[in-house]
Amino acid sequence: MRALHALVARLRATFTAGRVDREFDEELLAHFEMLVDDLRRAGYSNDDARREAARKLGRLDPLREDHRNQRGYPALDLVVQSLRHALRRLAKTPGFAIVVALTLALGIGANTALFSLVDNLLLRSLPVRDPDQLVRLQVFLLEESGRNTKPHAPDFGRAVFASVRAEHRIVEDVVGYQTTDRAAIAIDGVVQRERAVDVVSPNFFTALGVRPVAGRWPDTSDVNVAAISERWWRSQFGGAAGVLGRTITIDGKNYAIVGVAAARFHGFDLDRSVDAWIAPASGPLMMVARLQSGVTPKQAELALHRLLIEEVDARERTLPMATEALPVGSGLSGLRDQYRGALLALMGLVTLVLLATCANVGNLVMLRNTARRRELALRAALGASRSRLIGISLGETALLGVAGCIGGLLLARIGVAAIVAMLPLPAPPDALTFHADVRVLGFAAGTCMLGALLFGVAPALRATDVNFTGWLQSSHGLTAPARTRQIGRFFVGAQVALSVLLLVGAGLFVQTLRNLSRLHVGFSTEQTFQLLIDSRFAGYDDKDVPALSQTLLARLNEVPGVRAASRTRNRLMMGTTGMSMGIRLPGISEPIDNWDGLEVGPQFFETMGLTLLRGRLFVTADFVSSVDPRRSAEAARAYDRGFAGPLIVNESFVKRYFPGTDPLAAGPRIVGVVKDAKLLSVKDDVRPLMFLASPRPPFFGAVQVRAVGDAQAIEKAIRRAVSAVHPQLLSDMSTLGEVSARSIAKERMVATISGFFSVLGLVLAAIGIFGIASSAVGQRTKELGIRRALGAGRWVLVREALRESFVVFGFGLSAGALAAFIAVRWTSSFVGDLLYGLTATDAINFLTAIGAMVVVAVAACTIPAVRATRVDPLLSIRQD
């Protein structure tokens, strides 16, 4: 307590040092005068009184020194003084300060932004108690080709939960959750879009160890209650306690809000931030178990397998099945799987950017210190200690570093938002939001310190380690000593090298994006729209969907300009449908198990403009279900989805399964062959694809419309036509061009970011080269003038003046090229997934990067070169 009291007092005194010192002097003066008064009253003469008073008071300078040491902390005093001094100096050269702070901010910001994403998506654990103990339990059907990707039993009923929970040796507790698909949510009658809701078991939060920040958790006696996320609570209710007890309507049912979950808890799925949890659940739930400590997922799989397959239909229990206990402590994320490579590649890239910015700042600080050597020498001659001189130099660096760090955090925030905006996500999940938390701030500060070490310390030591009197006496006060120039050259060379690396990396990604966007997909993209229809949101029951789809397509066909409209079960351009169920087709001995399937409605091929190669397209009769659903519900379902009717296949299918034979001759199932088109994914090669004529869609997927004429007018007309059926029906509408652009969002993001930073790196390198070239010319003006006077040609002078810069550039370029050569080889397997149409070791890309660097370097040298040729012999010699 006392120590704290003293600490506060000392710190306060340090920052108000001027005032405190003045008051101290005032006190001493008052003391002195009172003493003199008393002495005169005791009979001293005026002069004697003053002398005696001075003696009694003691020597003032040591006293002041003691006071300074007592009132504050001497070391801190030095720091504060250095910083104040540095601030004044920087204020005198705002241009330098701004350029340096901005470059640093960019470097730190880029790294912090990427770190925030990497941390959120790849490194962080869920905000629950002991996340490592959590596993999701599912049963998979084993196939000959290995494990199926779709779980055979993803969720379980009450009985299985009870029996798993009873396995005390293995599990501590079990929680259940189920996503509600596209729930319609309203609060006080106001519809809430883009909010995800899970149904959970009553023990969900307590077993996970998530605390409520307000209210309480649902318990077993509750009927229809809800908990909401802290994010929603803050944004929608302003964090007010009044939220408790309010009613939230989900799919027409009312739930009372009883609690708010701790910040940043959004369920297990990182991509789909859940904002509300409702309980109790009625149907089957996904199962997450908290294992007893020391129990491995493998042991849990073995121990729980028998209990879990209870859920599987008795007829299927003979099939080979496996239980999977998947650790979910760091959350489940499709984005993570998809973006891991991209994020790590970008992280590597922005690390290079940081190094380049540090080298740039280092070079600028170095040049500045060189220009200030006379001043430093003067200070040293007047008795400033070396530590004080280093303090001044480091003080500036520290201030710039702090400014860069703060700017970097701001830029990181903007950067994360910009990156997330490039991704095709309707509502950015919390996992992709920038949170300036301890980890992110720590990272930024660490990066900043690393940067300061790289660019600040060497110049500070160099600038002060000099023979000052020598300089003061010399008339060449402005020529930097060799060692100082060496460090500057090193910084510039490093910049060039890093720039080459950045260019090579960015070139790969930019070229990939170009290759992808120029790709011919095989159907018309610009005049064809894809509409996403949300029938549940509009209040339709799934059994109304066939009728609804007929009405809708009829209305769309009436819109002026519309040539054709059709529907599919899955959206196009959403990646492979990945069907691997074995299907037997006449004419093929093996069941086919590696194919894509697209369940389409009438007019699909006409709408998409796909070319028929052989046979026929689907006709109206193909979409009439011939199976009576009353007789066999299962057969009717298969027929409704198109699995039992006629098929049309693509070229790749024929190549793969009917090499050299005629698929149409094999039997009545396959009725036609169409040309390959990239309907499912721009990037992936076309796989064998079967089109299934689906008479009655089980739920609404997507609708495609092809039109001619003014795109905007048609879009409006289409929107009107859909709203006329039901105003809440349309959830998204885009051209297939836009959809395919979205499907290469990852490549676009990587190309944009890396392109941006490679240009930045190039600009920084240009500044660096310009800096050393012009300072070389400046330093040698006199020599050049003499040579000129002696008759040397202009080009000889240019060559002489810029030789040093060229050597530095040459070294940087070679080092960069070598590093890039090694880097692409090292990372080619890892980066390969991110590339399209070229490989990491692409020679043209490599040469382009080097060419670009050379062009920029030559451009940066132009002005100094011209200056060298214009040296006036007389002026330069008279310079001193």
Least Å distance, CB 42 to another protein, is 12
Least Å distance, CB 32 to another protein, is 9
Least Å distance, CB 55 to another protein, is 9
Binding footprint of another protein on the chain (CB under 8 A) = 2, 5-6, 9-10, 23-24, 26-28, 30-31, 33-35, 37-38, 56-58, 60, 63, 66-67, 70-71
Q: Give the full edge-to-edge strand order of the sheet including 730-735.
A: 612-615, 670-674, 647-650, 689-693, 596-600, 562-568, 702-707, 528-533, 730-735
Least Å distance, CB 441 to another protein, is 32
CA separation for the pair 718, 528 (Å, rounded) = 12
* Residue 826, amino acid: W
Least Å distance, CB 82 to another protein, is 24
Least Å distance, CB 49 to another protein, is 14
Cα-flanking dihedrals φ and ψ of residue 560, to 5°?
-60, 135
- Which among 455, 510, 502, 353 is positioned nearest to 816, based on CA atoms? 502
Least Å distance, CB 69 to another protein, is 9
Q: Residue 76 class from Cβ within 10 Å (0-12 exposed, 13-18 middle, 19+ buried)?
A: middle
Least Å distance, CB 34 to another protein, is 4
User: Which residues, 6 or more positions from 512, have their beta carbon under 8 angstroms from its beta carbon?
Assistant: 747, 750, 751, 834, 835, 836, 837, 838
Cβ proximity to another protein, 2 vs 543, nearer residue? 2
Least Å distance, CB 168 to another protein, is 58
Least Å distance, CB 67 to another protein, is 6
Cβ proximity to another protein, 62 vs 238, nearer residue? 62
The angle that helices 386-421 and 438-452 make with each other, rounded to 10 degrees, is 130
CA separation for the pair 342, 440 (Å, rounded) = 20
Sign for the CA dihedral angle at 86, 91, 96, 98 comes to positive
* Residue 56, amino acid: K
Cβ proximity to another protein, 9 vs 166, nearer residue? 9
Question: Containing H/E element for 214?
Answer: strand 212-215
Cα-flanking dihedrals φ and ψ of residue 562, to 5°?
-80, 125
HSE (CB half, 13 Å, CA atoms) of 587?
16
Least Å distance, CB 17 to another protein, is 13
- Residue listed under structure tokens 């970008």: 346
* C-alpha separations of 394 from 89, 385, 448, 486 in Å: 12, 14, 14, 20
DSSP codes, 857-878? HHHHHHHHHHHHHT--HHHHHH
Least Å distance, CB 274 to another protein, is 52
Cβ proximity to another protein, 56 vs 306, nearer residue? 56
Helix (H, G, I), strand (E, B) or coil at 518: coil
- Which among 167, 432, 182 is positioned nearest to 300, based on CA atoms? 167
Cβ proximity to another protein, 28 vs 79, nearer residue? 28
Cβ proximity to another protein, 25 vs 558, nearer residue? 25
- Residue listed under structure tokens 């052989």: 614
CA separation for the pair 622, 231 (Å, rounded) = 50
Cβ proximity to another protein, 63 vs 807, nearer residue? 63
Q: Where are the alpha helices (DSSP H) in 705-780?
A: 711-725, 736-743, 745-779
DSSP codes, 764-786? HHHHHHHHHHHHHHHHTHHHHHH
Least Å distance, CB 45 to another protein, is 20
Least Å distance, CB 8 to another protein, is 9
Cβ proximity to another protein, 70 vs 296, nearer residue? 70
Cβ proximity to another protein, 69 vs 632, nearer residue? 69
Cβ proximity to another protein, 58 vs 539, nearer residue? 58
Cβ proximity to another protein, 63 vs 421, nearer residue? 63
Question: Containing H/E element for 541?
Answer: none
Least Å distance, CB 13 to another protein, is 8
Question: Containing H/E element for 225?
Answer: strand 225-228
Q: Where are the alpha helices (DSSP H) in 572-695?
A: 604-608, 633-641, 651-657
Helix (H, G, I), strand (E, B) or coil at 25: helix
Bridge partners of 214?
A: 260
Q: Residue 341 CA to chain centroid, in angstroms?
A: 12
- Which among 396, 370, 491 is positioned nearest to 452, based on CA atoms? 396
Least Å distance, CB 390 to another protein, is 30
Cβ proximity to another protein, 9 vs 822, nearer residue? 9
Cβ proximity to another protein, 54 vs 141, nearer residue? 54
Cβ proximity to another protein, 26 vs 628, nearer residue? 26
CB atoms within 10 A of CB 734: 16
Cβ proximity to another protein, 65 vs 662, nearer residue? 65
Cβ proximity to another protein, 57 vs 472, nearer residue? 57
Q: Residue 561 class from Cβ within 10 Å (0-12 exposed, 13-18 middle, 19+ buried)?
A: middle
- Residue listed under structure tokens 């909010």: 195
Cβ proximity to another protein, 36 vs 717, nearer residue? 36
- Which among 462, 464, 456, 355 is positioned nearest to 401, based on CA atoms? 456
CA separation for the pair 203, 216 (Å, rounded) = 12
Cβ proximity to another protein, 30 vs 624, nearer residue? 30
Least Å distance, CB 54 to another protein, is 10
* Residue 358, amino acid: C
Least Å distance, CB 83 to another protein, is 23
